[in-house]
């Protein structure tokens, strides 16, 4: 009984013109270059990209989890109407874990090894609700059962290293859900997991998202994972969104050459006699981006115009945007 | 306000050669690679735009841009040069005594830094003493690095019982505080410069061994060692080509930090009479003999101590700078 | 670029056993790593694995964490010494006077998963590749020339990339260097231990194409280890499925993928995302995590997670089945052994 995401209603998260640069003595890395998107309540947006595409940095900017001294962020980030980039530290601490929660890729490093799982979940609960220890523990138990951890009561007193990878990931999800966030940010949470465990976590996340009505932004490099979990997909390359739209459209009929190339080069049942259609070359150096479209050097459909100017997003169909000169359609803004 | 949105107008893709089809098109399985050859600025297997910089080159680059370390390195260099050219620089013979001119202050009769308790020129003695002190600072560290380093690398690479045997033997020496150990060994052997250096060498072998062993153990766990073994290389070949280059860094950093300690310890040994014997000039020995005269000409008597202090501290700070420069995360 | 996936073996000049002799036979390989301070317990990383690799084919090895596939890779080269079992390379038993380990390592090479730690950070890439030939007796300059040639064969311009250090290269480029390094000594067989797992998908495709081309060009035999079933399906002729140190299924690639015999293989296949949003996996085919190789369950190791587990499964460990020939498809499961007492057993 999934509620279709409310269109045209107030967006749960809204990012416009986000730019993130990391400044070091030796170089400036343009990690994110003008990213805009919107997430509706109850919707799952998947940010798809390879390493260096800027997807993780974008996610962390939503909670301002980037190193403050080296980072220059400009643009607009609003979650539930609040301006995240302009927030004072106290409000930011309330936001993190409260309204917005995040789950990470490597559960072993995201969980503190010297505290039991129950204690860590309880700590988050107490920080945000101010309740006493017993109530926090009860809530932790409730959460572990929500994420289907077997023998939850026993696991409350387990240390992270005593749990298997899948259980640790569930514990981390429980911790993230402890204060009923309305927006869940997931940074490649299944990448480090085995296939049989990954599918369990994906099914769990999907179920929880539906039941709790959370919006979710899920970052991944795996098209299969995106197919399993997303309502909408935004494809990123070199710090920019190059295509966005409903998941079925993006995976079946992508408009942008990069997305098409990504699909073609993902090994999935190709005949064994032929080579895979790989995208030639490598991703660009974020310290020295080429002028014009960042994908042009590797694009089979590039023209001279591609190197001169940045393509504006165009919409071949409603709800589907691609930033490419080769795409025909009305101009538009990222949604 | 600078406009962050705009891509730098003249962003270049650096390449050291005109673009070629760096990839054999057979292996791409797609696309017409020849077309890309004619368009400048596009490369297939593009290298990151950093310059070709080896490890040592980036070390030098960082050092060049580290003004603090450069200043102290310059001071150390000055001290070394002064000691090296002591015969040319010293105004007087460091051994020439004078009954009349004892414990004279700065500037007395062309003695810029005064005279010591036997009337010898302080400046000359400091310069010549620098030679001895520096020698006793560097030589033990050098020899200890060689011996301790070799032991450590072997113990680290071979592992198992050999490792346990070597490292536990080193631990025995660790049980003693270094000063005490140096004093004990030098004392037992009867003092003198050579024995002093020997004592210091023995004191420094265990820590060098440990540093080398740790570094080797870390390197050994990496895949390229396995790959080298899989190529059929013998143990000594692997150590020579793969381990040493990677272990040299930590060993060198640690050795450089030991130099300042060594200077201090050597001076200490001489101070106690267990190192250099008189009339050889040595800063520690000079401190010892000038000790009683401190109320007569305090500034002159403090000079050897000042020399030890400055040299040791500068060496220490240079070694810190080296560590920062060499700790390049590759 | 059409070519048959697996033609009959083209004989190498160093061939000794003839076209019907498997290039590599592993019998009952066993390796247990003792766990310190736990009173004699050990991690049973590989616990009795037997298989063979035919000349000119690609054998894919799949399994999840703890199944022992990486240990297996190292056992085949004696980088880790097996506790028990034997290896036969082209008819000669390994680690005997007929075929000492050093000679084995001339003919079998390995590419590791972590492209970064596989290369000496203080050595230019060309020297890393030249090390193999140099160690095996070539002169320094000749080794360098071979290295440059190999770098060219893997798609890296030797003048541009040869003097570079590993940290200047991207992940895909580093992996190409590793492949060049493995091929520099002209092996007959290459063990690929998850060579593309750490790479981006677009780069993965390039490297896979490269591996295919090199296999044809140099007449190689591959043992391809991966956790990614799609990649294994694309590249392999036969597949070996491992679980907790044991081989649980082995057979021709299409047979195993279309008609998997072992419940674990079925679960593994069902866990693959479909890439079609309309056909999402509604329920996880298997629950829990792979168990700990220190204390594997008694009897069939998979029975704790198996939906069809019954009494015989808890008692006895099923055998892999009789290997009849190249097209055999066998699984270590009581359901395929009529003598086991399992209610669903059939031949």
Domain segments of chain A as ranges = 13-269+277-331
Percent above pLDDT 90 for chain A: 33
Percent above pLDDT 70 for chain A: 96
- Could you tell me if B121 and B189 lie in one domain? yes
Residue in B28, B227, B245 closest to C122 by CB? B245
Residue of C nearest to B29 (CA): C209
How many CB atoms neighbour CB A287 within 10 A?
Answer: 17
- Could you tell me if B163 and B65 lie in one domain? yes
Q: Which band of pLDDT confidence, cut at 50, 70 and 90, is reported for residue A327?
A: confident
pLDDT computed for residue B154 by the predictor: 92
Query: Whole-angstrom Cα distance, residue C105 to residue C97?
Result: 14
Inter-chain contact C168–B28, Cβ cutoff 8 Å?
A: no
Binding partners of A (≥3 Cβ pairs within 8 A): B, C
Residue in C106, C123, C168 closest to B50 by CB? C168
Which residues on A lie below 8 Å from B57 (Cβ)? none
Residue of B nearest to A20 (CA): B4
Percent above pLDDT 70 for chain B: 82
**pLDDT per position as a tens digit, B189-206:** 887 888 889 999 999 999
Residue in C170, C208, C230 closest to A268 by CB? C230
Q: Which band of pLDDT confidence, cut at 50, 70 and 90, is reported for residue B44?
A: very low
Which residues on A lie below 8 Å from C276 (Cβ)? 227, 251
Residue of B nearest to C184 (CA): B231
Q: What is the mean pLDDT of residues B213-233?
A: 90
Which residues on A lie below 8 Å from C265 (Cβ)? none
pLDDT computed for residue C183 by the predictor: 94
pLDDT at B48 over 70: no
- Asked if residues C118 and C112 have their Cβ atoms less than 8 Å apart, the reply is yes
Q: Evaluate the CA torsion angle B69, B74, B78, B84 in order and state its sign.
A: positive
Q: Evaluate the CA torsion angle A243, A245, A246, A252 in order and state its sign.
A: negative
Q: Among A8-17, B260-269, B283-292, name the one with the lowest average pLDDT.
A: A8-17
Q: Which band of pLDDT confidence, cut at 50, 70 and 90, is reported for residue A1?
A: very low
The CATH number given to C24-120+188-273+288-300 is 3.40.50.300
Inter-chain contact B46–A297, Cβ cutoff 8 Å?
A: yes
Closest CA to C234 of C261, C250, C211: C211
- Could you tell me if B12 and B101 lie in one domain? no
**Strands C221-226 vs C58-62: parallel, antiparallel or unpaired:** parallel
Query: Whole-angstrom Cα distance, residue A218 to residue A230?
Result: 8
Q: Where are the domains of chain C?
A: 24-120+188-273+288-300
Q: How many CA atoms lie within 13 A of C192 on its CB side?
A: 34
Residue C4, chain A, CB below 8 Å: the answer is yes
Inter-chain contact C135–B233, Cβ cutoff 8 Å?
A: yes
**pLDDT per position as a tens digit, C216-250:** 999 999 999 998 899 999 999 999 999 999 999 99
pLDDT computed for residue B11 by the predictor: 28
Q: What is the mean pLDDT of residues B234-245?
A: 88
pLDDT computed for residue A8 by the predictor: 52
Give the residue, A228 or C335, on which the prediction is more confident: A228
Tokens representing residue C263 in the block: 């419940």
pLDDT computed for residue B311 by the predictor: 92
Inter-chain contact B231–C136, Cβ cutoff 8 Å?
A: yes
- Asked if residues C151 and C161 have their Cβ atoms less than 8 Å apart, the reply is yes
Residue in A165, A227, A277 closest to C276 by CB? A227
Q: What is the mean pLDDT of residues B1-21?
A: 29
Instruction: Give the range of the structural domain holding residue B145, as residue numbers without chain letter.
Output: 55-326
- Could you tell me if B232 and B294 lie in one domain? yes
Q: Which band of pLDDT confidence, cut at 50, 70 and 90, is reported for residue C75?
A: very high
pLDDT computed for residue B28 by the predictor: 32
Which residues on C lie below 8 Å from A266 (Cβ)? 201, 205, 230, 275
pLDDT computed for residue C31 by the predictor: 93
The order of strands in the sheet holding C108-111 is: C108-111, C189-193, C221-226, C58-62, C238-243, C246-252, C330-331
pLDDT at A87 over 70: yes
Residues of chain B with a CB closer than 8 angstroms to some CB in chain A: 4-5, 7-9, 11-14, 23, 28-31, 33, 41-46, 48-49, 65
- Could you tell me if B122 and B3 lie in one domain? no
Binding partners of C (≥3 Cβ pairs within 8 A): A, B
Backbone angle region of A99, left / alpha / beta, with phi > 0 → left and psi within -120 to 50 → alpha: alpha
Which residues on C lie below 8 Å from A194 (Cβ)? 64-65, 227, 289-290
Tokens representing residue A29 in the block: 């890395």
How many CB atoms neighbour CB B197 within 10 A?
Answer: 22
Which residues on B lie below 8 Å from C131 (Cβ)? 228, 231, 233, 241-242
In this prediction the pTM is: 0.82
- Could you tell me if B47 and B14 lie in one domain? yes
Q: Which residues contact A31 (CB under 8 A, 6 or more apart)?
A: A20, A21, A22, A54, A57, A239, A286
pLDDT computed for residue B19 by the predictor: 32
Q: What is the mean pLDDT of residues A57-77?
A: 89
**pLDDT per position as a tens digit, C273-296:** 888 888 888 888 888 777 878 888
Interface test with C, best of A258, A272, A297 (most C CBs within 10 A): A272
Domains in chain B, number: 2
Binding partners of B (≥3 Cβ pairs within 8 A): A, C
Q: Running DSSP on this structure, what letter comes out for residue C243?
A: E
Which residues on C lie below 8 Å from B330 (Cβ)? 121, 165-167
The CATH number given to A13-269+277-331 is 3.40.50.300
């Amino acid at each position: 009984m999934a509620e279709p995401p409310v269109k045209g209603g107030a967006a749960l998260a809204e990012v416009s013109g986000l730019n993130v640069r990391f400044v070091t003595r030796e170089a400036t890395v343009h990690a994110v270059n003008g990213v805009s998107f919107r997430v509706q309540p109850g919707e799952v947006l998947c940010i798809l990209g390879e390493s260096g595409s800027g997807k993780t940095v974008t996610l962390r900017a939503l909670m301002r989890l980037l190193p403050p001294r080296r980072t220059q962020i400009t643009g607009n980030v609003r979650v539930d109407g609040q301006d995240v980039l302009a927030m004072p530290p106290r409000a930011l601490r309330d936001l993190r874990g409260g309204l917005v929660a995040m789950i990470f890729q490597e559960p072993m490093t995201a969980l503190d090894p010297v505290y039991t799982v129950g204690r860590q979940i309880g700590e988050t609960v107490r920080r945000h609700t101010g309740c006493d220890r017993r109530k926090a523990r009860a809530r932790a138990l409730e959460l572990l059962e929500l994420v289907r951890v077997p023998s939850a009561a026993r696991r409350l007193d387990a240390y992270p290293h005593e749990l298997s990878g899948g259980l640790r990931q569930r514990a981390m999800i429980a911790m993230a859900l402890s204060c009923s966030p309305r927006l869940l940010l997931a940074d490649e949470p299944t990448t480090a997991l085995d296939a049989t465990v990954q599918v369990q976590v994906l099914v769990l996340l999907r179920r929880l998202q539906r039941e709790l009505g959370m919006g979710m932004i899920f970052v991944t490099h795996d098209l299969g994972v995106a197919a399993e979990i997303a309502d909408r997909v935004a494809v990123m390359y070199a710090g920019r969104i190059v295509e966005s739209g409903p998941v079925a459209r993006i995976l079946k009929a992508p408009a942008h050459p990069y997305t098409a190339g990504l699909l073609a080069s993902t090994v999935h049942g190709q005949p064994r006699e032929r080579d895979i259609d790989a995208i030639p070359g490598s991703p660009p150096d974020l310290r020295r981006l080429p002028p014009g479209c960042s994908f042009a050097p590797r694009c089979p459909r590039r023209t001279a115009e591609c190197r001169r100017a940045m393509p504006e997003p165009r919409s071949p169909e409603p709800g589907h945007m691609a930033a490419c000169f080769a795409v025909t359609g009305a101009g538009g803004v990222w949604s | 306000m600078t406009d962050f949105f705009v891509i730098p107008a003249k962003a270049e893709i650096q390449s050291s050669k005109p673009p070629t089809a760096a990839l054999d098109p057979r292996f791409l399985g797609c696309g017409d690679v020849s077309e890309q050859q004619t368009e400048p600025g596009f490369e297939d297997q593009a290298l990151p735009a950093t310059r070709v910089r080896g490890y040592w080159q980036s070390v030098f680059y960082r050092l060049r841009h580290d003004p603090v370390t450069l200043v102290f390195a310059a001071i150390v260099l000055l001290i070394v040069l002064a000691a090296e050219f002591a015969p040319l620089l010293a105004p007087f013979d460091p051994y020439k005594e004078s009954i009349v001119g004892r414990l004279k202050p700065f500037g007395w009769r062309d003695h810029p830094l005064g005279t010591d308790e036997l009337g010898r020129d302080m400046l000359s003695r400091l310069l010549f003493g620098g030679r001895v002190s520096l020698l006793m600072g560097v030589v033990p560290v050098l020899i200890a690095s060689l011996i301790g380093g070799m032991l450590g690398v072997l113990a680290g690479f071979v592992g198992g019982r050999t490792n346990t045997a070597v490292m536990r033997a080193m631990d025995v020496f660790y049980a003693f505080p270094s000063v005490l150990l140096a004093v004990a060994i030098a004392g037992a052997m009867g003092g003198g410069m050579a024995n002093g250096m020997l004592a210091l060498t023995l004191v420094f072998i265990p820590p060098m061994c440990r540093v080398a062993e740790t570094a080797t153990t870390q390197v050994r766990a990496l895949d390229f060692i396995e790959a080298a073994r899989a190529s059929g290389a013998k143990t000594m070949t692997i150590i020579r080509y793969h381990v040493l280059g990677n272990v040299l860094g930590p060993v060198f950093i640690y050795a450089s930090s030991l130099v300042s300690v060594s200077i201090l310890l050597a001076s200490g040994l001489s101070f106690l009479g267990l190192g250099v014997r008189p009339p050889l000039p040595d800063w520690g020995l000079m401190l010892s003999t000038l000790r009683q005269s401190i109320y007569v000409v305090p500034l002159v008597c403090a000079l050897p101590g000042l020399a030890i202090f400055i040299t040791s501290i500068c060496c220490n700070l240079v070694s810190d700078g080296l560590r920062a420069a060499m700790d390049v995360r590759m | 670029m059409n070519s048959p996936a697996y033609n009959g073996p083209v004989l190498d000049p160093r061939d000794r056993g003839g076209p019907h002799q498997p290039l590599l036979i592993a019998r009952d390989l066993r390796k247990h790593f003792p766990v310190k301070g736990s009173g004699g317990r050990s991690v049973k990383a590989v616990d009795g694995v037997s298989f063979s690799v035919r000349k000119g084919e690609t054998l894919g090895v799949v399994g999840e964490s703890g199944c022992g596939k990486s240990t297996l890779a190292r056992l085949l080269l004696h980088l880790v010494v097996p506790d028990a079992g034997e290896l036969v390379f082209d008819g000669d038993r390994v680690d005997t006077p007929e075929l000492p380990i050093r000679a084995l390592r001339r003919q079998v090479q390995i590419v590791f998963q972590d492209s970064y730690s596989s290369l000496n950070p203080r050595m230019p890439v060309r020297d890393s590749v030249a090390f193999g030939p140099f160690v095996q007796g070539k002169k320094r300059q000749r080794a360098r020339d071979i290295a440059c040639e190999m770098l060219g064969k893997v798609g890296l311009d030797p003048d541009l990339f040869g003097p570079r250090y590993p940290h200047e290269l991207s992940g895909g480029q580093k992996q190409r260097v590793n492949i060049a390094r493995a091929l520099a000594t002209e092996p007959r067989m290459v063990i690929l231990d998850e060579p593309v797992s750490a790479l981006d998908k677009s780069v993965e495709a390039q490297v896979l194409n490269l591996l295919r081309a090199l296999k044809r060009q140099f007449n190689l035999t591959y043992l391809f280890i991966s956790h990614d079933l799609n990649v294994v399906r694309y590249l392999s002729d036969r597949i070996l499925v491992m679980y907790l140190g044991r081989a649980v299924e082995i057979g021709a690639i299409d047979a195993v993928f279309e008609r998997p015999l072992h419940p674990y293989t079925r679960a593994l296949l069902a866990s693959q995302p479909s890439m079609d949003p309309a056909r999402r996996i509604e329920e996880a085919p298997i629950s829990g995590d792979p168990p700990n190789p220190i204390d594997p369950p008694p009897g069939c190791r998979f029975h704790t997670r198996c939906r069809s587990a019954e009494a015989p499964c808890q008692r006895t460990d099923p055998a892999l089945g009789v290997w009849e020939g190249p097209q055999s498809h066998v699984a270590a499961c009581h359901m395929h052994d009529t003598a086991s007492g399992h209610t669903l057993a059939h031949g």
